[in-house]
Amino acid sequence: MANIEVSISMSAADFANALTNNGIDNKGRSDSASGAAGKSWLVALAGGLGEMLGDRAVKMEKLMEKMNGLNEKLEGLEGEAREENTREFQKTMTEFQAESQMFSILSNTSSTALKAIGEGLTSLARKQ
């Protein structure tokens, strides 16, 4: 078996520039998360992470509206209906807290990932 040597003459700065500036081909996709043609993959990644955060925020808003509705119904209820409303409110509030934690985790992860990638590319560009 023959050994084949491949030599690539690209500086670290060229490599980092190519990574951050090359457009992403969308082939028929027009949604913002897919990264429009001409956007760097880093911007597309940020857009996708932002959309995921937006989805979590929408879930949290719906749960908050549900809690508000349950709280408004509570005043006219008595007995078993009141107990059921209280249970449903607590269940919804716990689900809201879980969604809130997931939002926080995703937000921190997104921020950390984008920062680490950006700093890594910057460091790579300096090492020419």
Confidence (pLDDT) at 3:
52
pLDDT digits (tens, 9 = 90+) for 36-77: 556 778 888 888 888 889 999 999 999 999 999 998 888 888
What SS3 class is residue 27?
coil
Q: What is the pLDDT of residue 8?
A: 46
Picking from 69, 63, 66, the residue whose alpha carbon sits closest to that of residue 102 is 63
Residues 92, 30: Cα–Cα separation, whole Å: 35
The pLDDT value recorded for residue 75 is 83
Locate the domains of the chain by residue range: 52-128
Q: Angle formed by the axes of helices 12-21 and 41-74, to 10°?
A: 50
Give the model confidence (pLDDT) of 3-40 as tens digits. Answer: 555 444 555 555 555 555 554 444 444 454 444 556 77
The pTM assigned to this predicted structure is 0.62
Query: From CA 22, how far away is CA 89, in angstroms rounded?
Result: 50
Host H or E run for residue 95: helix 79-126
